[in-house]
Structure formats: structure tokens, C-alpha cells
Amino acid sequence: MANFIFAPMSKKVRVRFAPSPTGGLHLGGVRTVLYNYLFAKHQGGDFILRIEDTDQTRFVEGAEQYIFDCLNWCGLIPDESPVHSGAYGPYRQSERKEIYRQYAEQLVKQGNAYYAFDTPEELEQMRTAYKTEQNPSPQYDIHVREKMKNSLTLPADELERLLDEEARHVIRIKMPQGETVSFTDMIRGEISNETSLVDDKVLLKADGMPTYHLAVVVDDYLMKITHAFRGEEWLPSAPVHVLLWKYLFGLENMPQWAHLPLILGPTGKLSKRDGAKYGFPVFAMNWTDPKTNELTEGFREKGFLPEAFINLLALLGWNEGSEQELFTKEELIQKFSIDRVHKGGARFDFEKAKWFNHEWMKKLDAGRLMPDVKKVLNKKGIETNDDTVLEKVIGLVKDRCTLLPDFYEQAGFFFKTPEQWDVEAVKPKWNDDKKNFFIEYAGQLSQIINWELVELENAFKSLAAEKNIKPGELQLPLRIMLVGGKFGPPVFQIAEMLGQNETILRINKALELF
């Protein structure tokens, strides 16, 4: 058996996010990443990404790359990971398989775990044989283990024979009777569990791969993790993990834990079903299930900015203690503290999420938005070859956009003549006087040498006064002529950006329809 190394816990803060590559990253997963990242950076520590792929039956092709892509989009780049190698690799559990068995065997040797040779059929028989009204779902626990086929019940010679034959078996933790296991949660305070109420979890599976329970403890120790943040759904497993720390490495080396509250949807824990029913995304990016080829829309594809996404996620369960709502990543790093994370679940509000995106749309400069806007317009067949013009257009319309796809409606007409006009909005108050006004105005525009907003507006107002028509009655028709509908920035800014020929062309084209 390999020699064990007992390394003292590193003083430097080290946190980890350890997802299983079984599907897309949803809101709760990315929030766990974010809180880990913010805590580490606030403390000047390291953020580690570890892939927990020990359950090969649930492995999904493409899921690991999806995780990396999500974190890259969010700007939450790990200091160490399978693609950012460090001193504590490998960072995929499937590549650490041989490490875990020695610790499982050590637990058996110490009397803290045991070999179990029960077949799947025997386990099913157990669940039926010991089922009662009071205990409808019997578990492999302190009450049942003595009746099963394991190293606690088998004669020594038979046990030796089975091990020599390499008979199929698992290793289970031997939960002690009548003990209370306690730990201090950074969010919830003191938490205690009775060991008699917890079943003997499998630590090492028959294929030699560890379960989460063993792997998370061994890896956190060997990677010198100082703080572990995970969802509150892991609270029932906490006593098993505390005991494993005690048995293997000593409680003084155990990381500080924080169990994060759930993110709630309209009817409870936020789920994929909620997203499908209510029309909002629950995944960070688009995720296509390879088994069903079913596409689930993500926040990125919906048109959210990463700055807004991590901002809204940070406030789903944490507050800084002030009225401030908009935080840059740098501000979040500076202000984040785990003691201000709520104990109760935070309810996700899609309208509030859109509000964050709208505010960030206004906050960011046009140059930052340009690559995203280009993609939106190009997807709709609009080519934008002049970045200077595009940057000006973005600056004009970004305050009117909530999600990135809104730029097509709000900015597309600057680069492409409308294909239809909202004629019905003009018709009720349209007459020959207005028609003649625009015929004459188009003629005046063709004579303007200095094509600037002030010149265009002055000519418009002067002609309106001459024709004794209120300018307000003429601006809506002009807007619809240039844009196609009742939207967009100030109309003379639009005309200035369109240029002389295009402005006149659109006026004349719309006059034919009006």
C-alpha cells in the first residue's frame, strides 16, 4: 500500500468548484462558482475548478467543455483546472482513480469502513424484506448491516477467499451508533446530526471509482482546500464527510464549510421545467441534451451581458448592506463577504433580471457592446463595415435596449432601408398639406451642403412655420418614413446618421405609400 502523506492545511485561501459533467450549468451552479470566485479573490486566494466525473454512467459528451465555456463567458477564470494546470493535479477525478482506493482501504483497516459483497438483487430483497409502515424505504444502515453480506458478518476464511478471488464488492463507511456529529457552517452556524440516522454510504464502488463522499474529502485535502461552498442539498451528507475528515486527516485540517441557499422559482426550487413553463432561461448558455437533442435556451443566447448576469446572480442570496444594486466584478470582489449570504432561498425574478441587463446596457460604452451588436445584426443579414458609424449608432440606441436582440429593431434601420412602414399610424391625420410639405422638404434637403443635425432641424421647422403646420404633427410621419415605425432616437439624429441620399430616398419612398 502506498505511503500516506499528511500535509498541513495551507494558510492561503483555496476554494474549488467541482461540477459533474452531466449537463448544462444552471443558475445555482454558476452562483456557486461566483461566490467561490469572489471569496477567493477578496482574500487574495486561489479558485480551483475540479471535474468530478467518477460516475461514468452519467457522463455527457460535451458537458465539460460547456462548463469551461460558461466560466469564460462569465469572466470567472480558474487559477487551476484541467486546462489551467497547477501543482495539485490532475484535476479530473477519473484521472485520480488510484489515489482513492488507498484511503478507502485505510478506513477498512482502521475499522471505520467495511467491504460489502451484496449483489443488486440482494439489495433489492433487503429493501422489500425490511420494509415496514414506519420504515417504507429501508437503508443499508446500522440496523441492517448485520443481516447483509459484508466483512462485518462473513467468517474470516470466507472473507479472505472472496478478496483473493477479487469478488465484486464496494466499500461502505461504518456509521457509528449514538454519536452526534457537529460542525460550524459559515452561513448557518452550528449544525448537528445523529449518526444513527445516516446510512452506511458507499465510498468506493465496485468498478474502483470513488463516490462523491470519499472523493470530495480526499481531493479537498490533497488540493489544500481551505473553504468549501456548496448547495444546501448536501447538508444531509455532511455527517459522513465530517467523519471521513476525522478518520483520515483530522478535523483540524477540514475546510470551513458554507451551504448556500436554494434559488427559488415561482413554485419552489428553480427548475428547467420552470423555465419552459414561464419562458425564461435557467442555464447560463444554450444547452442541447445529446440524448434527446432538446435545446434549452441560456442567458447568453437570450441576449444577456455577462456583466449583468454575474451582477444579478451575486444578489440572489447576498447583499452588500447598502442600496447599491449595480456592481462591477471588481466591486463585488472588494465588497463580498460570506457572512452576508442569506440562509433562506432567494426567489429568481426574470423581470428584475432584465432590469439588470437594461441598466448594464446603459452603463457600458458602445465600444464594449460593439462585438455583441455586430453578431446580432450579422445574424439578421445586416453587414456593418464601418466600426466608427456602428459605434455612434450603438451610442444613440443602447439606452433603449433591454436584451441584445433589441439592437436589431433599434439599430437595424440605420444600415438597411425599411421593408415595411407603419402606414396605419400616419393615415388618420395625413392630408395633402403634409404630403406637399414633405415633397418640398425633400427638395430642400437635397440642397443642404453642411449635412448636420442643426441644419436639418432648422430647415424642417422653418418650412413648417411657412406652411403653418405644427412641427409636432410632422415629426411622427418623418420618423416612420426613416425608421418604419414609432421608435428610435431623436429623428434628426437619425437623418444625420443616414446621410443625405438615404434620407431623401426614404422620404420619397414612404410618400408613395402614404
Which residues are catalytically annotated? 272
Contact in structure between 76 and 41 (CB atoms under 8 Å)? no
The end-to-end CA distance of the chain, in Å, is 89
- Pairing mode, strands 113-116 and 170-173: antiparallel
Nearest to 222 by CA among 322, 89, 98: 89
Residue found by looking up cell 451508533 in the block: 177
Per the structure block, which three cell numbers stand in for 497?
446618421
Per-residue buried b or exposed e for 337-374, using 16+ beta carbons within 10 Å of the residue's own CB: ebeebeeebbebebeebbebbbbbbeebebeebbebbb
- CB under 8 Å to 285, separation ≥6 — which residues? 24, 25, 66, 69, 70, 73, 298, 299, 300, 301
How many C-beta atoms surround the C-beta of residue 49 within 10 A? 24
How far apart (Å, rounded) are the C-alpha atoms in residues 59 and 205?
Answer: 16
C-alpha cell at 494: 437619425
Cβ neighbours of 294 (radius 10 Å): 11
DSSP 341: B
Rounded Cα distance between 2 and 442, Å, is 88
Q: Which three cell numbers stand for residue 227?
A: 473553504
| Cell output for 165 | 478471488
- How many Cβ atoms from other residues are within 10 Å of residue 44's Cβ? 8
Place of cell 459605434: 391
Distance CA 116, CA 92 (A): 27
Kindly give, in sequence order, each residue whose CB lies less than 8 Å from that of residue 72, ignoring residues fewer than 6 positions away. none
List, as one string, the DSSP characters of 489-507: S-HHHHHHHH-HHHHHHHH
Tell me the C-alpha to C-alpha distance, in Å, between residue 12 and each of 15, 225, 227, 382: 10, 9, 10, 51
Residue position matching grid coordinates 470566485 = 37
Pairing between β-strand 256-260 and β-strand 227-231 as defined by DSSP bridges? parallel
Shortest CA distance to 484 belongs to which of 506, 452, 466? 506
What letter does residue 419 receive in the DSSP assignment? S
For residue 499, CA distances in Å to 358, 451, 475 come to 29, 7, 18
